[in-house]
Amino acid sequence: MASASGEQTSAEYIQHHLTNLVCGKTPDGWTCDHNAVDQMGFWAFHVDSLGWSIFLGLVFVGLFRLGVPKLSTEAPSGIQNFIEMCIEFVNDNVQSIFTSAKNNLIGPMALTVLVWVFLMNLMDLVPVDYLPTLAGQVAEATGMVENSKDAYFKVVPTTDPNITLGMALAVFVLIIFYSIKIKGLKGFLAELTLHPFGKWMMPVNLVLEGVNLIAKPISLGLRLFGNLYAGEMIFILIALMLTFSSISIGLLGVGLHLIWALFHILILALQAFIFMVLTIVYLAMAHETEDH
């Protein structure tokens, strides 16, 4: 609720930073008015999450494309060392996990997942007020909103379950595709209905294996979302101390912000690594053909 003076309260501050910029189609046409979100239905898009994820994907492609023409065995540049380190790291993980078959898609996809997710996670280190405030000022200057505080803008795509579950869904589609391609439709259905208790317990097997299959993309997406959302919440709470508290507590908040940012770097890298490893593991399981 708003304060009596009309100033933004702590609850409003938190809610504002957790709200996406949504554009969608209403009965009156396309709009980005936050008050019309309930009228958008299915055709509603989190423009900030989509925009930043696409932008960071282009950064990934551009960064690696920039380093390829400059490859040198005599005097490797810093960007070449970085690219080679990423490729070798991913290659070691793929070779150690994906041993059941040969698939030229796994390596490039694992590299894309690792770097892309890490770049999206890395946006969590940008001070929570900077880009949203700038976006609000631009929106106010262009007449999109009357007050910059009415503009919503999130900059960490992986704190949006639509993004994380969307990536997990893409992995799930590949799991189904390769399961059917490698084992055949009959073999895939047999895997769902004949394990682990044999043909006399087919309904039970189907429930158990079906839940196990569906849980893979859900857990993959929600794990990434949950960890990044929690990290963002801590940054917002620290920023709240800086904004609404006294000078002494505000200075303490600066120190807490720095300490949490340094620790959070490990979480950002770890979550990108886990997403990559689980993707490789799930696709390796889809390629297994021997009976269990």
Residues serving a catalytic function are 219, 223, 227
Q: Distances in Å between the alpha carbon of 141 and those of 135, 136, 137, 148?
A: 10, 9, 6, 9
Question: CA torsion angle for 178, 184, 188, 189 (degrees, to 10)?
Answer: 150
3-state SS, residue 215: helix
Answer whether 172's CB lies under 8 Å from 216's CB.
Answer: yes
Report the C-alpha gap between 290 and 292 in whole angstroms.
Answer: 7
Q: Kindly write down the DSSP assignment for every residue of 19-43, as one continuous string.
A: ---EEEEETTEEE--GGGGGGTTTS
Please, what is the Cα angle at 168 between 54 and 34, to 5 degrees? 55
Question: CA torsion angle for 142, 146, 149, 151 (degrees, to 10)?
Answer: -50
Report the C-alpha gap between 125 and 145 in whole angstroms.
Answer: 27
